[in-house]
Amino acid sequence: MKLVAPSLSLQLEPVRPVDSEGWVRVRASVIGGIFAGAFEAYLQLGDLRRFKEELELMYAQVGSPHEAVLSRHEPGIYVRLASNSMGQVEGTYEFENEDGSLAKLVGSFQVDQSYLPALAASTQELIASLSENVA
């Protein structure tokens, strides 16, 4: 999955396939403003699927406020996109290493609705690559 927006670049790549409980491990490479880093995090495959569906709905119903959230159950990855009636999308994010350190990258960005189909397609590619290799 690749999310590229003003002041944020996020790429999620599979590290471990889906386990029997639906957990996946991804490597997150992040550039936020002048900060850059990489870490590994756990996500639920269902959360990725829901995020993709929310993105598709947000795009299909441009002009009606919606949100798409990719959240973590553990410290790690949080991305929230919220659309307004004008088709603008406000994004917020928070990235945190799960090792218990206090380091955290938090920020926001804006894009328009034309950005959503590519992000949904990119999310589907990640889902497909994780689902091909069920542990």
| E-only strand ranges, 6-135 | 8-16, 23-32, 35-44, 67-70, 77-83, 88-96, 104-112
Residues of the domain holding 14 = 2-131
Task: Supply the pLDDT for residue 92.
Answer: 96
In this structure, of 28-42, 48-62, 78-92, 95-109, the range with the lowest mean pLDDT score is 95-109
Number of domains observed in the structure of the chain:
1
Task: Return d(Cα 127, Cα 119) in angstroms, integer.
Answer: 12
Higher pLDDT, 72 or 83: 83
CB 61 within 8 A of CB 115: no
Q: What is the pLDDT of residue 99?
A: 74
| Mean per-residue pLDDT over the chain, rounded | 91
- Give me the pLDDT at residue 45, please: 94
CB 112 within 8 A of CB 87: yes
- The CATH number of whichever domain residue 48 belongs to comes to 3.30.2450
Residue 40 in this model has a pLDDT that exceeds 80: yes
